[in-house]
Amino acid sequence: MRFLILVMCFIPLSLRAEDLSVRDGWAVHKTDKPYVQLVKDTRAAVKTHGMFVVTQAGPTAAAAKRGITIPGNRVIGVFNNDFAVKVLGTSTAAMIEAPIRLYVTENANKTATLSYKMPTFIFAPYKKDGGTELMTLAEELDSIFAKIAKDAQN
pLDDT digits (tens, 9 = 90+) for 60-109: 999 999 999 999 999 999 999 999 999 999 999 999 999 999 999 999 99
Mean pLDDT of 29-41: 98
CB 95, CB 85: distance < 8 Å? no
Q: What pLDDT shows up at residue 17?
A: 52
pLDDT at 153 over 80: yes
β 73-79/52-57 pair status: antiparallel
Domains of the chain and CATH, by start: 31-153 (3.30.310.70)
Confidence band of 2 (pLDDT split at 50, 70, 90): low
pLDDT at 3 over 50: no
pLDDT at 26 over 60: yes
User: What's this model's pTM, rounded to 2 decimal places?
Assistant: 0.87
Contacts 24+ apart (CB under 8 A), 47-52: 48/148, 48/151, 49/144, 49/147, 49/148, 49/151, 50/80, 50/144, 51/78, 51/79, 51/80, 51/144, 51/148, 52/78, 52/79, 52/80
Percent of the chain, pLDDT > 90? Answer: 85
